[in-house]
């Protein structure tokens, strides 16, 4: 089963930093290596900036890549974690 968690961040991570991270995750999943290089060099403007609305950060056309604050979360331990 694919991992449902692209990243787990501390609860006190500022929303602007979360937006940056979501944009990088989106770029890594959606853009070519050349596009990612130009983004990193600052020579290409990201057409899909992360948006913050009603407590949820999202980016681009990927409805499954979102970030939100979670009050209590448990992750089942599986054999891979040992």
Q: What is the pLDDT of residues 27-57, one digit of tens each?
A: 999 999 999 999 999 999 889 999 999 999 9
Residue 58, beta-bridge partner list? 51, 66
Judge whether 74 lies within some domain.
no
Give me the domain span that covers residue 47: 1-69
Judge whether 79 lies within some domain.
no
* Closest among 56, 64, 55, 4 to 30, alpha carbons compared: 64
Judge whether 76 lies within some domain.
no
Domain count, the chain: 1
Confidence category of residue 79, pLDDT binned at 50, 70, 90: low
28: buried, middle or exposed (CB in 10 Å: 19+, 13-18, 0-12)? exposed
Model confidence, pTM: 0.81
């Amino acid at each position: 089963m694919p991992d449902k968690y692209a990243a787990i961040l501390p609860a006190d991570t500022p929303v602007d930093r979360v937006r940056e991270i979501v944009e990088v995750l989106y770029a890594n999943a959606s853009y070519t290596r050349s596009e990612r290089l130009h983004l990193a060099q600052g020579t290409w403007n990201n057409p899909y900036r992360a948006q913050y609305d009603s407590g949820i950060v999202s980016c681009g056309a990927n409805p499954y890549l979102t970030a939100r604050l979670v009050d209590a979360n448990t992750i089942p331990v599986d054999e891979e974690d040992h």
